């Protein structure tokens, strides 16, 4: 709503002349701005316009007028709009706040870009990467025992019962004994054997599940294959299963903790049997290479048990071989590869009359290997592998 001009408050012409100055032309029109009446005096040339506050009788320059404006021609008084000090102040504040906002925004964007670049990860490859190994790579700096092919070596294997310290043969340099039975011996049979300068190979089944072992409950239903025809308490194991391998690592740890010199992992030839799991030679090769690396990392030697079909591809990872009945099945020449690599073969024959083996039968067994060179050690045992032995 407009306001009427308050003529009673208007200054006299003398006051106006004094306020605006002699060079100014005063516009007699007045205007209310926020309750204050102003009189505007405009200069005809380049003088600074003045604003006369009729309410207070004072004269002041417009806040938007600077000293540099003195030399600038001014608009006609009728075209010049009054400058509102409150609006000017608000406009300045808005400009300052806007500049502050832009400055803060620029800093935020810069920091965000820097943080993003620092923590940016490369995109994954188009093809899926190979799955990581199930277990960390074992250390390779551990030393381990490797038996030689010296003809003076003799050996024995006893898996049925705990080895009786009273029945240790002084001339037997190497003993192959059951890992779990040795763990239960008091005092430690391994410590006893070591004190008498014997080397110890610790036996366990790596390719089957025996339901009488203390860790049987760790196997999963998916780890089981078919039952072994002649062993009702034993099943083929899925040697590619991470769970089976975890159990085998625990057994290697047990062997290392008991100070076994090497391990004899049995039943790694499931590929040549009706295993019910589709196991192949490649499965056994990969499994034995993995098992060898893990054994070596724990300071343990390792031997290949039977599995003659994979000898050529596994011999470099093994320190020895343990074979059963190669004389009986006339296949000992398969094991010549180990001898040629300077690695011994420990062979077991099971004559049906054992322990009542005749000298003729013993001679046929001991001379029937057809192996050339030293390092092939044959013993005659009963099938149950107790402590009875007849060495060639």
pLDDT higher than 60, residue 25: no
Task: Tell me if 236 sits within 8 A of 273, measured CB to CB.
Answer: yes
The pLDDT of residue 337 is 96
Nearest to 209 by CA among 227, 194, 189: 227
Note whether 320 and 198 are same-domain residues: yes
Q: Is residue 136 part of a domain?
A: no
Would you state the torsion angle of the CA atoms of residues 202, 204, 206, 209, taken in this order, to the nearest 10 degrees? -170
Nearest to 365 by CA among 387, 353, 350: 350
Measured CA to CA, the distance from residue 37 to residue 314 in angstroms comes to: 109
Q: 């003659």: which residue's tokens?
A: 308
Q: Is residue 108 part of a domain?
A: no
* Tokens of residue 167, six digits: 């029945």
Q: Is residue 106 part of a domain?
A: no
Nearest to 146 by CA among 357, 318, 356, 291: 318
- CATH code of the domain in which 376 resides: 3.20.20.70
Note whether 173 and 285 are same-domain residues: yes
* Tokens of residue 67, six digits: 């000293």
Burial class of 24 by CB neighbour count within 10 A (0 to 12, 13 to 18, 19+): buried
Note whether 250 and 367 are same-domain residues: yes
Q: 């308050």: which residue's tokens?
A: 6
Strand duo 301-305 + 231-237: pairing: unpaired
The pLDDT of residue 26 is 42
Measured CA to CA, the distance from residue 218 to residue 30 in angstroms comes to: 102
Nearest to 49 by CA among 77, 79, 17: 77
The pLDDT of residue 90 is 60
The pLDDT of residue 358 is 92
The pLDDT of residue 128 is 32
Measured CA to CA, the distance from residue 201 to residue 144 in angstroms comes to: 12
Note whether 189 and 63 are same-domain residues: no
Q: Is residue 290 part of a domain?
A: yes
pLDDT higher than 90, residue 330: yes
- Torsion-angle region of 181 (φ positive above 0: left; ψ -120 to 50: alpha; else: beta): alpha
Q: Integer distance in angstroms from the first to the last C-alpha of the chain?
A: 130
* Tokens of residue 246, six digits: 């975890």
Measured CA to CA, the distance from residue 271 to residue 68 in angstroms comes to: 101
Across the chain, what does the average pLDDT equal? 77
pLDDT tens readout for residues 56-89: 444 444 444 443 333 344 444 444 445 555 555 5
pLDDT tens readout for residues 151-193: 888 999 999 999 999 989 999 999 999 999 999 998 899 999 9
Q: Domain containing 179: what range?
A: 155-391
Q: Is residue 133 part of a domain?
A: no
**Cα-trace Rg, the chain:** 51
pLDDT tens readout for residues 9-19: 344 444 444 44
Measured CA to CA, the distance from residue 289 to residue 28 in angstroms comes to: 110
Which of 39, 66, 83 is at the close of a domain? 83
> CB count, 10 Å around CB of 262?
24
The pLDDT of residue 24 is 43
Structural domain tally of the chain?
A: 2
Q: Is residue 222 part of a domain?
A: yes
Predicted TM-score (pTM) of this structure: 0.65
Q: Sheet of 36-42: strands edge to edge? A: 25-33, 36-42, 50-53, 58-61
Measured CA to CA, the distance from residue 271 to residue 309 in angstroms comes to: 10
> CB count, 10 Å around CB of 81?
8
pLDDT higher than 50, residue 28: no
Note whether 79 and 159 are same-domain residues: no
Do you know the residue count of the chain? 392
Which of 54, 83, 112 is at the close of a domain? 83
Distances from the Cα of 40 to the Cα of 25, 27, 47, 128, 169, angstroms: 9, 6, 13, 81, 130
Beta partners for 324?
A: 348
pLDDT tens readout for residues 335-373: 999 999 999 999 999 998 889 999 999 999 999 888 877
Which of 50, 68, 83 is at the close of a domain? 83
pLDDT tens readout for residues 269-300: 999 999 999 999 999 999 999 999 999 999 99
């Amino acid at each position: 709503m407009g306001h009427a001009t308050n003529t009673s408050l208007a200054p006299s012409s003398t006051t106006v002349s004094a306020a605006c100055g002699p060079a100014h032309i005063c516009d007699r029109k007045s205007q209310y701005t926020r309750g204050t009446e102003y009189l505007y005096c405009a200069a005809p040339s380049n003088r600074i316009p003045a604003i006369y506050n009729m309410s207070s009788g004072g004269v002041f320059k417009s806040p938007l007028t600077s000293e540099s404006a003195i030399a600038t021609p001014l608009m006609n008084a009728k075209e010049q709009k009054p400058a509102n000090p409150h609006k000017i102040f608000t406009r300045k504040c808005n400009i300052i706040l806007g500049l502050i906002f832009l400055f803060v925004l620029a800093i935020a964007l810069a920091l965000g870009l820097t943080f993003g670049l620092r923590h940016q990860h490369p995109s994954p490859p188009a093809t899926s990467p190979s799955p990581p190994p199930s277990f960390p790579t074992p250390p390779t700096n551990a030393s381990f025992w490797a038996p030689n092919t010296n003809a003076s070596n003799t050996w024995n294997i006893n898996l049925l019962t705990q080895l009786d310290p009273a029945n240790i043969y002084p001339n037997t340099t190497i003993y192959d004994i059951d890992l779990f039975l040795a763990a239960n011996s008091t005092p430690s049979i391994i410590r006893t054997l070591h004190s008498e300068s014997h080397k110890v190979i610790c036996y366990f089944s790596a390719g089957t599940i025996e339901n009488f072992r203390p860790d049987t409950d760790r196997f999963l239903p998916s780890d089981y294959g078919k039952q072994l025809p002649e062993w009702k308490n034993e099943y083929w194991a899925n040697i590619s299963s991470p769970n089976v391998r975890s159990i085998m690592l625990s057994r290697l740890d047990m062997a290392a903790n008991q100070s076994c010199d090497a391990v004899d992992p049995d039943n790694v030839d499931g590929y040549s049997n009706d295993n019910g799991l589709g196991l192949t030679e490649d499965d056994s090769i990969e499994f034995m290479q993995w098992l060898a690396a893990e054994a070596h990392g724990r300071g343990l030697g390792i031997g290949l048990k039977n599995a003659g079909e994979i000898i050529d591809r596994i011999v470099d990872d093994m320190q020895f071989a343990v074979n059963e009945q190669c004389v009986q099945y006339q296949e000992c020449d398969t094991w010549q590869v180990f001898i040629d690599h300077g690695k011994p073969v420990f062979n077991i024959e099971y004559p049906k009359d054992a322990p009542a083996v005749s000298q003729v039968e013993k001679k046929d067994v001991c001379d029937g290997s057809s192996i050339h060179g030293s390092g092939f050690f044959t013993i005659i045992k009963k099938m149950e592998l107790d402590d009875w032995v007849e060495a060639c």
